[in-house]
Amino acid sequence: MKIKSEFLINGQTVKVIFDDEKMHKEGALGLCYSDQNKIYLSRTTIDEGKKIKLPADKIQSVYIHEVLHYILDTMGEVELSANEKFVETFSSLLHQFLNSK
């Protein structure tokens, strides 16, 4: 699965930005800023002070997770978007579906 640098949702162009430093500061692997039409992702994580490269499937999973936040926010489903258990479960299942052969 390819991660696009930008895509359209509801007529809006959403930019996907890889910014490891920002994500490390935020303590996250990905963040969705639907009000700015941006999704930030990291290619690395920090473990015991060491930078570790994330596997491609983990980055894809985080990407789908953040896209789902964006979609729910755009739909006005702010409470559902804030439900991390729902978003993580749904995005994990979607990721598995998209990558099945």
Contact at 8 Å (CB) between 4 and 17? no
Question: What phi and psi values does residue 47 have, to the nearest 5 degrees?
Answer: -130, 115
Q: Report pLDDT digits (tens) over 9-50.
A: 999 999 999 999 999 999 999 999 999 999 999 999 998 889
Closest CA to 65 of 37, 39, 38, 26: 39
Alpha-carbon distance of 91 to 70, in angstroms, equals 12
Distance from CA of residue 57 to its chain's centroid?
Answer: 12
Domain boundaries, the chain: 6-99
Global pTM reads 0.94
